[in-house]
Amino acid sequence: MKEKIAVLMGGRSLEREVSLRSGQRVADALGERGYRVLPLDVTAELVNTLRSERPDAAYIALHGKYGEDGTIQELLEFLGIPYTGPGVVASALAWDKSVSKRLFRDNGIPTPAWVTFTADAFKEMGAATALDLIPEAVGGFPLVVKPAEQGSALGLTRVEAADGLAEALLSALSFGPSAIVERWVDGAELAVSVLDIGDGPHVLPPVEMVAKSGLFDFSAMYTPGETDYYVPARLTPEVEAEVRRLAEEVHVLLGCRHVSRVDMVVAQDGTPYVLECNTSPGMTETSLLPMAAEAIGIGFQELVEKLARAALDGLE
């Protein structure tokens, strides 16, 4: 029998259901590959169970708060359990888009113009009186409002005109303490995954998403049939090369290891913009990382095993 791997999933985030779907597929794959699998929900009993079961590694199939913001990573390091995916700092940087976008901008990585607001800025400092300045700051409408902290596009609204801005901010701030308002870039939406397991980052084929509703939101993301996917993305060789270069740069800049998924949009003039970096990419049946891996002949089980081995073998 191979090593014992705890698959961490669920938790009390709003992405619980998605995480359970990811986790179950991961657990099945590891089981098929002969590992002893310990599927664990993130509850108050987690630490106790980890201590008594002593897994050789943890596969993080958590999405959203605690799973992607560095919390679980910090805890696993404390318990001495190696885990899959980026470490504490990379997770924390990628989690907060207001931070990662600043890093992108300061390092010459194109990202759509944006402004960030915390709920406190509205509550304590009267920031709502400055909403009229936003369109100019980000380059006009349409624009997109979303929670600054990473998630499955929950609380995301596309805003067409000034009168929708306040409501969109309220909606985004229902999901976290800060929100970003970002220029809407019309173009092809891409997910570019990076595998980095011991021999440096390898960029997987970009996946292009076309939501039938026009907005790649939570429901488009997780409902089969609501989105069309193109693998590889329909890009010119030059643009594809640039997209791949940017994905690798983001991965390295944030200090990611094992895996990351960089989401971008390629404007109609061919300029790619980086939107965000995900450190715990979805592993459901409609998820983008498995799709990209499949495109170069890495099946789901193999992908999962590679990531698990990266943790087990201590690959940084």
Partner 1 sequence: MQMGTARIVFDRWDGRYAQRMRDVRSSATRDLFAAASRPDIISFAGGMPEISLVPTDAAANAAADAIRKHGLEALQYGSSEGRPQLRETIVELMAEIGVRAKRDDIIVTAGAQQALDLLAKIFLDPGDVIITEGPTYLGALQAFSAYQPRIICIPMDEEGMDTDALAAELTQLGPRGAKFIYTIPNFQNPGGVTMSAERRRRLLDLAREYDIPVIEDDPYGRLRFEGGHMRPLRALDEEVIYLGTFSKIFAPGLRLGWVMAPRPILGKVLLAKQAADLCGSAYSQITAEEYFSGTRWRKVLQDLTRTYAERRDVMLEALEEYFPAEAEWTVPEGGFFVWVRMPAFLDLKALLPEAIERGVTYVAGDAFYPDGHTGRNCMRLAFCYARPDDIREGIQRLAEVLEDRLELYRAFQAAGALPGAPVAKGVVA
Catalytic residues: 15, 152, 222, 261, 263, 276, 278, 282
Residue 228 CA to its chain's centroid (Å): 19
User: Hey, is 43 helix, strand or coil?
Assistant: coil
CA atoms within 13 A of residue 134's CA, in its CB half-sphere: 31
At a CB cut-off of 8 Å and minimum separation 6, what does 253 contact?
Answer: 103, 104, 107, 109
Nearer to partner 1, 147 or 272 (CB): 147
CA 293 – CA 287 distance, rounded (Å): 11
For residue 265, the surrounding DSSP H or E stretch is strand 258-267
At a CB cut-off of 8 Å and minimum separation 6, what does 288 contact?
Answer: 191, 193, 207, 209, 229, 261, 281, 282
Nearer to partner 1, 93 or 173 (CB): 173
Q: How far apart are the first and last CA of the chain?
A: 25
Bridge-based pairing of strands 227-230 and 207-211 is: antiparallel
Nearer to partner 1, 42 or 148 (CB): 42
* In the complex, least distance from residue 123 CB atom to partner 1, rounded to whole angstroms: 5
* In the complex, least distance from residue 86 CB atom to partner 1, rounded to whole angstroms: 23
28-31 long-range contacts, CB within 8 A, separation 24+: 29/300, 29/301, 29/304, 29/305, 30/5, 30/59, 30/304, 30/305, 30/308
C-alpha Rg value of the chain to the nearest Å:
19
Residue 5: closest CA among 28, 41, 30, 32: 30
Q: Rule CB under 8 A: which residues touch partner 1?
A: 9-17, 20, 23-24, 27-28, 38-46, 48-50, 119, 122-123, 126-129, 131, 154-155, 163, 165-167, 169-171, 173-175
CA 92 – CA 49 distance, rounded (Å): 25
